[in-house]
């Protein structure tokens, strides 16, 4: 996986008071409404999670909606804990997954778990992730907020699966073909959320943003976002189209994009952290969340997700997995509410110096 980026090293520590105020005023966000759960059922879920081992925590009874919800672009309501579709692919994220049946089962379990936001990209597989999503979920009905919201991406190609580089390709005609082919594979008439997977540094950035504007104008996509961008790039893009989401590399142990996250928070833009589990590293013993996980009787993966959810009301994590048990474990993190003290201890451990 190419995780190249071109960003600022920011030191902005999270400011709890400012975030609480933002959560209170909304900024287009329905922060942690707990979706009709009574205090006693939440407490029961926490108790269940505390009793669980590592596998199917609380038997899948926790709903992702317990993480609260977010209005993407002001009109797409989703639970604030989604699913990332990169792991629906084969080795090197190329070709069909080794356990295809389980991939289908994972996707069909999502509505039962309250997950209605699914991230994918044409480059995953390539095409395989989008194809499996449509095979499993068309017509995308029966989800917590009605239909599933599928977010996909284009503009990042895979010339060779074995020599890692993913290559930016931002030619507007090519981007339009990306959109049209994603529409075909996903069996959609309009894509609810489309991301430019990477800004192509070989072309003027405005040319790529103007292409995105035209996709919205033509009705091919409803909302658009950017991936792996700086605050300056988001500001430049916002002069041309409304940036609904930003998807940057971010997790408990990788905090380079604090400034981008704060900018998104200030502007009501959803921040979708990719590698929310540090590509699996944060699920292992010995990581920053391990001690707290043991103390609370939950797993390090769940602490990493719970920390993200508390970090900002605009945070929309999309942990990826190829295992049903891990999906249920990850969704159960929606019911884990870290105290301010727990949050700050983890924050201090991992804050960039």
Which C-beta is closer to ligand NAP: that of 23 or that of 82?
Answer: 82
Q: Quick check: 330 binds ligand NAP (CB under 6 A)?
A: yes
Which C-beta is closer to ligand NAP: that of 238 or that of 323?
Answer: 323
The region, left, alpha or beta by phi > 0 then psi within -120 to 50, assigned to residue 169 is beta
Among 319, 331, 334, 343, binds ligand NAP (CB under 6 A): 319
Helix (H, G, I), strand (E, B) or coil at 238: helix
Which C-beta is closer to ligand NAP: that of 23 or that of 78?
Answer: 78
Residue 90's Cβ-side half-sphere holds a number of Cα atoms within 13 Å equal to 10
Strand partners, 245: 225, 270
Q: Quick check: 128 binds ligand NAP (CB under 6 A)?
A: no
Q: Quick check: 329 binds ligand NAP (CB under 6 A)?
A: yes
**What gap in Å lies between CA 340 and CA 162, rounded to an integer?**
44
Which C-beta is closer to ligand NAP: that of 258 or that of 329?
Answer: 329
Element (DSSP H or E) covering residue 117 = strand 117-119
Among 144, 222, 320, 331, binds ligand NAP (CB under 6 A): 320
Question: Which residue among the candidates 83, 124, 250, 263 is catalytic per the annotation?
Answer: 124
Q: Quick check: 322 binds ligand NAP (CB under 6 A)?
A: yes
Longest dimension (CA), the chain: 56
Strand partners, 156: 168
Which residues lie below 8 Å from residue 22, measured CB to CB, with a gap of 6+? Answer: 29, 265, 266, 313
Among 67, 86, 150, 220, binds ligand NAP (CB under 6 A): 86
Residue 191's Cβ-side half-sphere holds a number of Cα atoms within 13 Å equal to 36
Which C-beta is closer to ligand NAP: that of 1 or that of 138?
Answer: 1
Strand partners, 168: 156
**Span interacting with ligand NAP, options 63-71, 238-246, 263-271, 314-322, rule CB under 6 A:** 314-322
Among 116, 168, 228, 347, binds ligand NAP (CB under 6 A): 228
Known catalytic membership, residue 124: yes
**What gap in Å lies between CA 293 and CA 77, rounded to an integer?**
30
Residues acting as catalytic residues: 124
Where on the chain is the footprint of ligand NAP (CB under 6 A)?
A: 84-87, 119, 227-228, 247, 274-280, 283, 301, 318-323, 326, 329-330
């Amino acid at each position: 996986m190419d995780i190249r980026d071109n960003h600022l090293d920011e030191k902005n520590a999270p400011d709890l008071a400012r975030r609480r105020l933002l959560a209170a005023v909304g900024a287009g966000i329905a922060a942690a409404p707990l979706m009709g759960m009574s205090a006693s059922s939440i407490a029961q879920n926490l108790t269940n999670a505390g009793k669980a081992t590592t596998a199917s925590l609380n038997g899948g009874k926790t709903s992702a909606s317990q993480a609260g919800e977010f209005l993407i672009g002001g009109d797409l309501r989703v639970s604030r804990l989604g699913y990332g579709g990169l792991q629906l692919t084969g080795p090197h994220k190329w070709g069909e997954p080794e356990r295809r049946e389980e991939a289908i089962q994972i996707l069909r379990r999502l509505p039962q778990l309250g997950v209605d936001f699914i991230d994918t990209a044409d480059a995953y597989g390539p095409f395989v992730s989008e194809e499996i999503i449509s095979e499993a979920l068309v017509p995308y009905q029966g989800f917590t907020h009605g239909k599933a919201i599928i977010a996909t991406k284009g503009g990042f190609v895979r010339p060779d699966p074995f020599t890692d580089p993913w290559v930016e390709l931002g030619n507007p005609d090519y981007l339009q073909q990306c959109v049209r082919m994603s529409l075909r594979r996903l069996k959609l008439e309009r894509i609810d959320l489309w991301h430019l997977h990477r800004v192509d540094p070989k072309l003027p950035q405005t040319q790529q943003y103007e292409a995105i504007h035209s996709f919205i104008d033509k009705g091919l996509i409803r909302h658009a976002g950017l991936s792996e961008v700086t605050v300056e790039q988001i500001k430049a893009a916002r002069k041309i189209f409304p940036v609904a989401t930003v998807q940057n590399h971010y997790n408990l142990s990788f905090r380079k994009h604090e400034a981008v996250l704060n900018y998104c928070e200030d502007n009501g833009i959803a921040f979708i952290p990719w590698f929310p589990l540090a590509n699996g590293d944060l699920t292992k013993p010995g990581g920053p969340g391990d001690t707290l996980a043991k103390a609370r009787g939950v797993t390090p993966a769940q602490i990493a997700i719970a920390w993200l959810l508390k970090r900002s009301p605009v945070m929309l994590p999309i942990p990826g997995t190829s295992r049903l048990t891990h999906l249920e474990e990850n969704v159960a993190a929606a019911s884990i509410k870290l105290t301010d003290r727990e949050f700050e201890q983890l924050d201090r451990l991992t804050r960039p110096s």
